[in-house]
Amino acid sequence: MSITQAWALLVVAGLMEVGWAIGLKYTDGFSRLWPTAATITAMVLSVALLAQSLKVIPVGTGYAVWTGIGAVGTAALGILLLGESREPLRLACIALVVAGIVGLKIFSSD
């Protein structure tokens, strides 16, 4: 697998993490069948794609980027879909996470 493919898998894994994190809200404590099935599917895909990307990307970088994508994406969808706070300092903190993800990609030795 090329480094470009590994990074692409990592991004998709991060997006799947966003999917399962937001999906948890809709499972109603895993009591709703289809939201639960979709959430569990996203969980499995997220971890499987992360594992594949870590064959090429260093684990520290890969895991940090994966969780960063998940955190930023989940926070953004929380704001857009769930009416969570748009407090400027909260948005600034989210921007710092994005800066960290970009920095890890730019300065990664892979």
For the stretch 17-59, pLDDT in tens is: 999 999 999 999 999 999 999 999 999 999 999 999 999 999 9
Rg (CA), the chain: 15
Q: What is the dihedral of CA 48, 50, 97, 8, to 10 degrees?
A: -110
User: Which pLDDT does position 109 carry in this prediction?
Assistant: 65
Residue 57's domain spans which residues? 3-106
Structure confidence at residue 15 as a pLDDT band (50, 70, 90) = very high
pTM metric for this prediction: 0.87
User: Which pLDDT does position 110 carry in this prediction?
Assistant: 58
Tens digits of per-residue pLDDT, 67-87? 999 999 999 999 999 999 999
CA–CA dist 23, 102 (Å, integer):
26
CA–CA dist 44, 105 (Å, integer):
24
Mean pLDDT, all residues of the chain: 94
| Cβ atoms within 10 Å, residue 66 | 24
CA neighbor of 21 nearest in space, from 6, 42, 45: 42
User: Which pLDDT does position 4 carry in this prediction?
Assistant: 93
In the predicted structure, residue 89 carries a pLDDT above the cut 70: yes
Burial zone of 59 (CB within 10 Å; 0-12 exposed, 13-18 middle, 19+ buried): exposed
Domain count, the chain: 1
